[in-house]
Structure 1
Amino acid sequence: MAAQPSLHELENQLDAAFQRIQDVYGYASAVQALGRLLSAVPPAASSPKADVPKAKAVPAPIQVPKPKLPVQEEQTPDSLDVSPSPSPRVDLDDKRPFKVGSLGGLSGSLKWKKAIEVATKVTDPWAGRNLHLLPMEHVMRYRYNSRTRQWVTDDVLVKVESRPFAAGAMRECFAMKKLSTFTTNVYHDWKKAQNCVAKRYKKPVERGMYFTDVLVQMDAKLMGEEYNATQPPKQVDIMQASIVECSDRPGTPLYALEQLMEGDYVKYNSNSGFVMSDDLLRHTPQAFSHFTWVWSKGQRICVDIQGVGDLYTDPQIHTLDGEGYGEGNLGARGMALFFRTHECNALCARLHLKPFDRCATDVHVQGYTSASASSVASGTFSRTQLRQTSLLSRLAQLRLGARKPADPATRQALLDKLKDVPAEEGPEAVVHLEVARVYAEVVLLPETRPAEDPEESLKGALFHLYFAASLGSVVALAIVARMHSGVEPEGTAWAHLTKTALKKGELVVHPEVALRAATLAAERGVAGAAAAVAHAYEGCQGLGDGILEEAQPSVAVKWWRTALDSFAKLEEVRAEEARELEGGGADSLQSCPSFADSNVAGTMDEEQALSPSVQRVSPARHMSSNITDVSGEMLGGVVTATLPPLLTGPSKKWVRRQRFTAEDEAAGLAGGAPTRYEALASLGKLLLEGGEGLEPDLEGAAEALNEAAELATEAGKGKLAQRYYELAAQAEC
């Protein structure tokens, strides 16, 4: 028979549990938890013959029928009140909080008495609102499970105020008390019911927005659980969120529901890149955001971290492709705004999180963002004041001669950057490109970020653009190829960046870099880049002008064949997109290969869903699609759509968009936009004539030239088609 633990061991366990709750949820929550424990199991009198006091048996709960709403039950609420008389309020902000471990010199019974004394002094912060006097409502609650990807519904009882006690820019908050229908002995004790905050949008919105908000918060909660599994020094938690539907009210309004959070509310980072950096103790929120990006393999990041201590609420999740999670999802741009101001701390190093490569401009911006963004948020500085402050600081730098002369990257340094480039671009490359885009926009429109220096932003844009190219970003490679071939990029911000960098001496054109970048883009399937490279090797023209000493027919043939294959695949992608647009675009939101297991899906018929003996469980819906299409079915407890796994790759739509952007940039290169018949004709001529390292291939030449002639005829190019037919006949002789 196992030995019973000693009283001292039990006291240590109680002490550890109390400290654990205090560290995670705060001192007030720890005391309340202890108070609930003591009220349920009162301690027995201590005995010298027993190490462990015996507790009274707790009666088994009885089943309570589904509650109704008779008015007479609410007419005499005081008769149902079994709570103790109000006690003096305890100052929870006392600098000397009660700790079980601080009573080490007291006996076990005295510790219990002290714990009971403190617990009973904790009062309801909403006691003065008299919520227990309000009418009771029977509502349906929707809860979301991020691991099973399912919605679960149940019935709860609430009492909610009719007027908001707080409001933000978009939502207003109402005080609420909540009881579960499974409660027994506290069924009518509303003074002991859970305090909650019910949130509602000020303006009418689609009902799906409420479900999206909960999905964001619960997926963030799952990320918090994964973070805690790494055993960090301080764990985090995201508030449990749900939705309640007031079916007895006109219009069956929805509320987002959270437990009341007590304490000092702090915003640690924001959706727009603000990162609190002046508090050395606040490493956890920044490391948590960084962790979510690494954990999701760069597909997600949880930001907008705010709350009390390390209990967070109202976070935002950015996805790489920008799909899902509502309008607050800024996609790769949101990730870029975080990482350009995030400096890895000791906790990031402890978690072995790879630092994001940054430059001096990022460090300067980190100072701007941490100070000025918080000032703007609090209303202490105006936009004009920020602009003036920034201008004064720049003038001071000029007077002190702090500005360094232009130091553009050398040709060899850039070629070295493009030496070992990954075969496939990853999320890190995409984020670097977005950081570069943010800086390029500052150079184009400085007034959009008045606290930032456009000249510093110029350097930052070039740094991150080159870094994105070195990580295999096909868009970055195409832009770099255009910049160093003397052709302005297609995008307005990139074009202005190129002109400004050339004017300021920050950019020197290196044709070798242009050819190398175009070759890398061609190897990654960019058809226009392959055509431009083939054009260069065919006759030492375009990208090869001044670099290649003589034509290389064998290399040119290789790249023309690559270009033709890439153009054919590009046409297939465009045709697929056209078919999806005709069919409503349903397939465009499907993800690329997933990093997680298959999704959980299923349906229930309406009779099953509404049966009181069956727990209503509904498969969730992908929030990147329009949830309002099924919101009516949700109200009946049934959702017929499915939700893919949390850790999925970017959508096909986003991948296509990246491909099309790279093709648009590559088309501006010399020889980068041939028609198919022109590419076939060039290939046919090379195969017909042969050259150094290339044996003539008359059969291949005739085939390519005949196809080129047919396509030219279809395009109305009769004379050109005739010329191709003549060359084909020459090859067939």
Structure 2
Amino acid sequence: METEVDSIANPHSDLSQFVPAQCETSPESSFEMLGDPRSGHQSSTDSPGLPQVKNPLCVSCLRNSPVAAGVPQSQYVLSQKDYRSLLAGVCHACLLKRLHSDETQFKLKTHRSAHNALHLKFSKATGMWTARETCVYIGEPMGIQGKQRTAIWVQFLHQEERLSSYVGKDYLKPKEIQFHLKDVERQMTAQYYVTEFNKSLYDKEVMAQIFFIPSEALLILNGDEIAGCVTVEPFMLGDFVKLTNNTGKKDKSFQATEYGLAFGHFTYLFSDCQEVVVDLQGWVTANGKGLTYLTDPQIHSTKTPKGPSNFADRGLRYFLEEQHGPECNGICQLLKLPRVLRQPHVLPQTL
């Protein structure tokens, strides 16, 4: 089933005309508990088949309660308890359990229109998603697209955010909502790792730094029903470059690539040899400050199930043997990172 986003305003050049009347944030709307609205529904998370570890910050985990009476039968119609839970904060596993579907797909089909929305942010440090009510203007396509997603202009219509430009990313083909949520979770996981990497650089008095620009999710609402989902991130000026891919390729013409490979090495060690951040792409500053802003990474991981972009053991082997290679570069040596050695449990005999 494919869900189309309905516009709630007619196209107009003045963005102020697009703010829906019901866009004021209600202090009485705060999320309390996420539950599966369909009795007997089985959903998968990042760790299918494993018992969920309760997050002490998650409202849903703490209450450990079945679906409350009165929750709508439609999975994507949000109840008041849903709102209270999301605004209070829920963990990644609970959010996926509530919104995961193998049937309902979303694809934006209207542009130059305003919508009520829930703005979801994820913190890797806490494992928590928090939401707030907002209004957004979905603008024109930017004419930029990758293999899977296309870019569109997005503007927040709250006054304090009105001067900021954002890029929305929607899949070229309709996708289930969990794809968007996992995109955000992956990029914010990379941001968590790179923060630790930058601390190590700073300790060595190296001013060059790598950043992953923050990625967030927008649940587009039609009344109380989720009618669409896109990811959003700040708009960046400059030339887009690709430093590495998700196998063995790397572009040595950029000094930032050396930092990127050292970051992958650092991530591998920091994650107890279970993950590596790859497919590094974004914007390299030319002002001599050595700042690199990245987006849309991939993570090869043995912590989470293997998938189209997570090559798991094979992905770790690609990085260790080909992309990074047996010899450490100057940044790895400066940080005194132990050499990456062949690990039988991550290096299968054949690809």
Which of 297, 303, 312 aligns to 2:294? It is: 312
- 2:339 is paired with a residue whose SS is coil
In structure 1, distance between residues paired with 2:10 and 2:302: 55
Give the letter for the 2:147 counterpart. Answer: A
CA-to-aligned-CA distance 1:475-524 (integer Å, 9 cap, x gap): xxxxxxxxxxxxxxxxxxxxxxxxxxxxxxxxxxxxxxxxxxxxxxxxxx
Match of 1:139 among 82, 107, 117: 117
How far is 1:74 from its partner? 6.5
What one-letter code is carried by the residue in structure 1 that aligns with 2:195?
E
* 2:215 aligned residue (220, 241, 261): 241
Of 137, 155, 159, the match for 2:137: 159
Alpha-carbon distance in 1 for matches of 2:178, 2:195: 26
Distance in 1 between the 2:8 and 2:334 partners? 58
Instruction: Specify which of 170, 173, 178 is matched with residue 156 of structure 2.
Output: 178
Quick check: 2:139–2:152 contact (8 Å CA) kept in 1? yes
Change (3 A) 1:219 1:244: same
Where 2:345 maps in the other structure, the secondary structure is helix
- Judge conservation of contact 1:273–1:334 (CA < 8 Å) in 2: no
Q: In structure 2, how many angstroms separate the alpha carbons of the residues matched to 1:229 and 1:314?
A: 22
How far is 1:78 from its partner? 8.2
Indicate the residue corresponding to 1:276 in structure 2: 251
In 2, the alpha carbon distance for the partners of 1:158 and 1:214 equals 18
1:330 pairs with 2:314: no
Q: Structure 1 pair 173/220, CA: closer, same or farther in 2 (3 Å)? A: same
SS of alignment partner, residue 224 of structure 1: helix
- Deviation string 1:376-412 (CA, Å, 9 cap, x unpaired) is xxxxxxxxxxxxxxxxxxxxxxxxxxxxxxxxxxxxx
- For the pair 1:261 / 2:236, whether they are aligned, the reply is yes
* Post-superposition CA distance 1:205-250 (Å, at most 9, x none): 2211111111111111100111112134212111101110111299
Q: CA deviation at 1:303?
A: 0.8
Stretches of structure 2 lacking an aligned partner (at least 5 in a row): 1-6, 19-110, 285-291
2:344 aligned partner: 429
* Pairing partner for 2:193 from 211, 217, 223: 223
1:214–1:243 CA contact under 8 A, matched in 2: yes
The secondary structure found in structure 2 opposite 1:253 is strand
Find out whether 1:354 has 2:338 as its counterpart. Answer: yes
Quote the offset at 1:334 in angstroms. Answer: 0.4
Normalised TM-score (structure 1): 0.30
SS of structure 1 residue aligned to 2:328: coil
Aligned residue number for residue 50 of structure 1: none
Q: Distance in 2 between matches of 1:173 and 1:155?
A: 23
Q: Once the 2 structures are TM-superposed, how far is the Cα of residue 276 of structure 1 from its aligned partner?
A: 2.3
Q: Indicate the residue corresponding to 2:33 in structure 1.
A: none
Measure the CA separation in 1 of the matches of 2:243 and 2:265: 13
Equivalent residue of 1:340, what SS? helix
Which one has the largest radius of gyration? 1
Shift of 1:321: 5.4
C-alpha RMSD of matched pairs (Å): 3.0
1:268-667 paired onto structure 2 within 5 Å: 268-280=243-255, 282-309=257-284, 310-320=292-302, 323=305, 326-341=307-322, 342=324, 343-357=327-341, 428-431=343-346, 433-434=347-348, 436-438=349-351
Letter aligned with residue 315 of structure 2:
G
More strand by share: 2
Deviations 1:422-473 (A, max 9, x none): xxxxx82323x33x424xxxxxxxxxxxxxxxxxxxxxxxxxxxxxxxxxxx
Pick one of 191, 211, 217 that aligns with 2:181. Answer: 211
For residues 201 and 132 of structure 2, the distance between their equivalents in structure 1, rounded to whole angstroms, comes to 33
Alignment CA distance shift 1:70-1:319 (3 Å): closer
Taking a change above 3 Å as real, the CA distance of residues 356 and 253 of structure 1, as seen in their structure-2 partners, is same
Letter aligned with residue 344 of structure 1: C
Structure 1 residues 428, 170: closer, same or farther in 2, change over 3 A?
same
Choose the corresponding residue for 2:126, options 137, 140, 148: 148
In the TM superposition, residue 274 of structure 1 has moved relative to its aligned partner by: 1.0
Q: Describe the shift of the 1:348–1:140 C-alpha distance in structure 2 as closer, same or farther (beyond 3 A).
A: same
Shift of 1:354: 1.7
Counterparts of 1:228 and 1:264, CA distance in 2 = 23
Offset at residue 75 of structure 1 (A): 8.1
Render the CA deviation track for 1:149-196: whole Å, top value 9, x for unaligned.
1110112222122545222221111111224x4x4xx57xx4xx2111
Q: Deviations over 1:561-611 (max 9, x none)?
A: xxxxxxxxxxxxxxxxxxxxxxxxxxxxxxxxxxxxxxxxxxxxxxxxxxx
Indicate how the Cα distance of structure 1 residues 206 and 134 shifts in structure 2: closer, same or farther if over 3 A, else same.
closer
Q: Is the contact made by 1:200 and 1:256 (CA closer than 8 Å) also made in structure 2?
A: yes
Shift, 1:251, TM fit: 6.3
User: Matches of 1:231 and 1:147 in 2, distance apart?
Assistant: 20
CA 1:160 to 1:71, structure 2 compared with 1: closer, same or farther past 3 Å? Answer: closer
Q: Can you list the C-alpha shifts for 1:56-104, whole angstroms capped at 9, x where unaligned?
A: xxxxxxxxxxxxx996997865899xxxxxxxxxxxxxxxxxxxxxxxx
Aligned CA distance change for structure 1 residues 163 and 346 (closer, same or farther; 3 Å) = closer
Distance 2:272 2:222 in 1: 45
CA distance 1:335–1:308, shift in 2 (3 Å) = same
Report the 3-state secondary structure (helix = DSSP H, G, I; strand = E; otherwise coil) of the residue aligned with 2:153.
Answer: strand
**CA distance in structure 2 between the aligned counterparts of 1:200 and 1:167, rounded to whole angstroms:** 9
Aligned-partner SS, 1:199: strand
Distance 1:260 1:77, change over 3 A: closer
Contact 1:300 1:319 in 2 (8 A): yes
Output the CA distance in 2 between the equivalents of 1:142 and 1:251.
13
Q: Is the 8 A contact 2:250 2:257 kept in 1?
A: no
Q: CA offset at residue 278 of structure 1?
A: 4.0
Tell me the percent identity. Answer: 25
Call closer, same or farther: CA 1:225–1:78 in 2, change over 3 Å.
closer
Distance 1:139 1:78, change over 3 A: closer
